[in-house]
Structure 1
Amino acid sequence: MDAEAVTKMLLALPGVEEHVGWAGQPAFKVRKKGFVYLSADETSVMLKALREEQEALVAESPEIYTASWASGRFAWLEVKLAIADEDELVELLTEAWRLTAPKMLIAQHEQPSA
């Protein structure tokens, strides 16, 4: 999955807006809260995760995942786009959104299409 596909996928989630991050890179936010940051060179993303998930993924595949900082129950995980499994990456990006989005938007996303 490349940076363009990541951007398209994220912007399809309810309430997501693209902003310019602190280092000029694309930042994705829901209700003004950041949950995914694309690297300036568009080769990786930094995403919000649960601490346990961060630890497990880094231990399992350190060539793909790198731990960033952690605080409380949340942690940040860097994912190399070129070698990450696309289905797993979509799941991680969606989970990062769920950890940040209000319940109303999550319910809107999970409603079956008519």
Structure 2
Amino acid sequence: MVTVADVRALTRTLPRTTEHLVRDRVKFRVGSIVYVAFSRDEATMGFAHPKEDRDALIAGEPDLFFLPEPADLRFNWVCCHLARLDPPHMTELVTEAWRMVVPQFVARQRLGG
């Protein structure tokens, strides 16, 4: 199981990330672009993910992943249940979400080629 504290520890290592509390929800962003956000009860996490890949992600693990609210379907966004997420998978998802919102040279500096 992953917690907000686990994600916070990872995001502190990702350049240009800032943490914000918006309407009682913890959100991590680069500039004005949110790449990870938690539900108010911190049971679910939304994260940036390419729209063209989200159906396959959800179909592959429907007990873990789900679509965001209909109003958010236009965004590159997927949600997951934190109770079913393990730390290595969280690291991959959050890092890839961050990579989507930073300039490529920043991602290369942090993650390599």
**Pairwise TM-score range, normalised by the shorter structure:** 0.7 to 0.9
- For residues 76 and 55 of structure 2, what CA distance do their matches in structure 1 show? 9
Report which of the two has the higher share of helix. Answer: 2
Runs (4+) off by over 3 Å: none
Identity %: 28
- For residues 79 and 11 of structure 1, what CA distance do their matches in structure 2 show? 21
Aligned equivalent of 1:57:
57
Aligned equivalent of 1:18:
19
Report which of the two has the higher share of strand. Answer: 1
Question: Deviation at 1:9?
Answer: 0.7
- For residues 64 and 34 of structure 1, what CA distance do their matches in structure 2 show? 21
- For residues 106 and 30 of structure 2, what CA distance do their matches in structure 1 show? 9
Aligned equivalent of 1:79:
80
Question: Deviation at 1:81?
Answer: 1.0
Kept in 2: contact 1:14–1:108 (CA 8 A): no
What pairs up with 1:1-114 in 2 under 5 angstroms?
1-21=2-22, 23-68=23-68, 69-71=72-74, 75-111=76-112
Q: Deviation digits for residues 23-54 of structure 1, max 9, x if unmatched?
A: 32111011221111011111111001012331
For the residue of structure 2 that corresponds to 1:82, the secondary structure is helix
- For residues 36 and 64 of structure 1, what CA distance do their matches in structure 2 show? 16
- Number of aligned positions between the proteins: 109
Kept in 2: contact 1:35–1:47 (CA 8 A): yes
- For residues 21 and 55 of structure 2, what CA distance do their matches in structure 1 show? 28
Greater RCO structure (CA 8 Å; 6+ sep): 2
